[in-house]
């Protein structure tokens, strides 16, 4: 039986060609923007679907968001259609994890500060008191033990670090050499964490997850890396801790302000506080998952979900609308 799939907003010819190359022949991929008539598709592929594309399709079984995360507008819209399962893609998990590790290393070794000095022909940092952090035998705490967090944990272990992780719930378990704790253990874990890597999703529950109290529990000189979402770490508390050098450094790919239009792309500060004035912050413009292979990976992962559905199997990456991920 053919599986009808409607994609209102195709992602370009190269992507669509790669997607079709990976699909089983019994998947009928219908490209938009013109909707099929009648709208008898079983799967809709859209990040922010139109209400009518969901409501007018009586056979619709699932929505696939063709990227990681769950936009707020999509979450709110799909709550009105509980019969439709929502899934997303984790195609950029490896790229995001690699960026997290790059930010961790750059922050620990003060790479950018040294680079800036040497570009000015200033060898001064070579003769300063030693300040870079040795990561081996230190403890990394990974907040969010999902597709990204698990990869970060493996990489940190490869650097000789002890790794602990936090997930939403469940008992304390040991898995692949990582001790995984429920969120209730956060305050007990922070004093022993030399590096914290945030890879949590953005939900009402994670907003402000690390505030002034939590940051104060970290040992002096700790490092913080955030590849989740900016507001998971309270802005003012993070800035003050970095400004006062209670945190030795941070590597940040996610922020508190973003351009609202194309005209603002080249003139939008990342936050209300001047993080750009701090020499102990490594700044990245929310592109942890952006790699040359992105579209090929996206097509491969999307095809994997669609092929599973065509075989009558349960698709992976089911999203819980109440939890927000």
The pLDDT tens digits for 15-30 are 999 999 999 999 999 9
Q: Do domains 3-92+293-310 and 93-283 have the same CATH topology?
A: yes
30 three-class SS: strand
Burial-class residue 215 by CB neighbours within 10 Å (0-12, 13-18, 19+): buried
Packed helices 13-22 and 294-310: angle between N→C axes, nearest 10 degrees? 40
- The pLDDT, as a whole number, for residue 45 is 98
What's the fold here for domain 3-92+293-310? Rossmann fold (3.40.50)
Confidence bin at 324 (pLDDT 50/70/90): confident
Rounded to whole angstroms, how far apart are CA atoms 264 and 270? 12
CB atoms inside a 10 Å sphere around CB 160: 11
Structure tokens, 104: 């961790």
211 three-class SS: coil
Helices (H), 23-146: 51-55, 72-78, 93-109, 111-119
**pLDDT over threshold 90, residue 49:** yes
Structure tokens, 50: 């139109």
At the fourth CATH level, the homologous superfamily of domain 93-283 is NAD(P)-binding Rossmann-like Domain (3.40.50.720)
49 neighbors 24 (Cβ within 8 angstroms) = no
64 neighbors 88 (Cβ within 8 angstroms) = yes
241 three-class SS: helix
**pLDDT over threshold 80, residue 1:** no
**pLDDT over threshold 90, residue 243:** yes
Q: What sign has the CA pseudo-torsion 169, 175, 176, 182?
A: positive
Rounded to whole angstroms, how far apart are CA atoms 154 and 162? 10
DSSP 262: G
Q: Nearest-5° angle of CA 217, CA 257, CA 195? A: 30
Q: What is the mean pLDDT of residues 117-146?
A: 95
Rounded to whole angstroms, how far apart are CA atoms 320 and 88? 11
pTM of the full structure: 0.93
Structure tokens, 84: 């439709």
**pLDDT over threshold 90, residue 169:** no
- The pLDDT, as a whole number, for residue 273 is 98
Give residues with Cβ within 8 angstroms of 121, minimum separation 6: none
Q: What is the mean pLDDT of residues 171-200?
A: 97
Residue-averaged pLDDT of the chain: 96
Query: Which contacts of 78-87 are long-range, i.e. CB under 8 A and separated by 24 or more positions?
Result: 78/49, 78/54, 78/321, 79/321, 81/54, 81/55, 84/54, 84/60, 85/61, 85/315, 85/318, 86/62, 86/318, 86/319, 86/321, 87/62, 87/63, 87/305, 87/315, 87/316, 87/317, 87/318, 87/319
> pLDDT digits over 259-303, tens only?
999 999 999 999 999 999 999 999 999 999 999 999 999 999 999
Rounded to whole angstroms, how far apart are CA atoms 60 and 52? 12
Q: Where are the domains of the chain?
A: 3-92+293-310, 93-283
CB atoms inside a 10 Å sphere around CB 253: 24
């Amino acid at each position: 039986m053919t599986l009808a799939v409607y994609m209102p907003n195709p992602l370009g010819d190269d992507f669509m060609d790669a997607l079709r190359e990976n699909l089983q022949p019994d998947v009928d991929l219908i490209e938009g923007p013109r909707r099929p008539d009648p709208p008898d598709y079983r799967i809709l592929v859209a990040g922010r679907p139109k209400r009518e594309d969901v409501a007018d399709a009586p056979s619709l079984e699932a929505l696939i968001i063709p990227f990681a995360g769950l936009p707020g507008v999509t979450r709110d819209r799909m709550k009105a259609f509980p019969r439709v399962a929502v899934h997303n893609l984790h195609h950029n998990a490896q790229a995001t994890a690699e960026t997290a590790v790059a930010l961790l290393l750059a922050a620990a070794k003060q790479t950018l500060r040294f680079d800036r000095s040497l570009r000015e022909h200033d060898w001064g940092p070579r003769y300063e008191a030693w300040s870079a952090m040795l990561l081996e035998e230190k403890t990394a705490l990974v907040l969010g033990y999902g597709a990204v967090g698990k990869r970060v944990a493996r990489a940190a272990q490869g650097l000789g670090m002890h790794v602990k992780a936090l997930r939403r719930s469940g008992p304390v378990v040991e898995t692949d050499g990582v001790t995984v704790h429920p969120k209730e253990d956060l305050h007990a874990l922070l004093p022993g964490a030399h590096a914290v890597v945030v890879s949590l999703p953005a939900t009402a529950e994670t907003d402000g997850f690390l505030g002034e109290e939590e940051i104060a529990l970290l040992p002096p000189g700790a490092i913080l890396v955030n590849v989740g979402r900016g507001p998971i770490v309270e802005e003012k508390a993070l800035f003050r801790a970095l400004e006062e050098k209670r945190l030795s450094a941070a590597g940040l790919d996610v922020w508190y302000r973003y351009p609202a239009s194309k005209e603002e792309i080249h003139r939008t500060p990342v936050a209300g506080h001047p993080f750009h004035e701090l020499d102990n912050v490594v700044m990245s413009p929310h592109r942890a998952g952006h790699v040359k292979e992105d579209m090929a990976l996206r097509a491969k992962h999307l095809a994997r979900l669609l092929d599973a559905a065509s075989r009558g199997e349960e698709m992976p990456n089911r999203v819980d609308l109440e939890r927000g991920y």
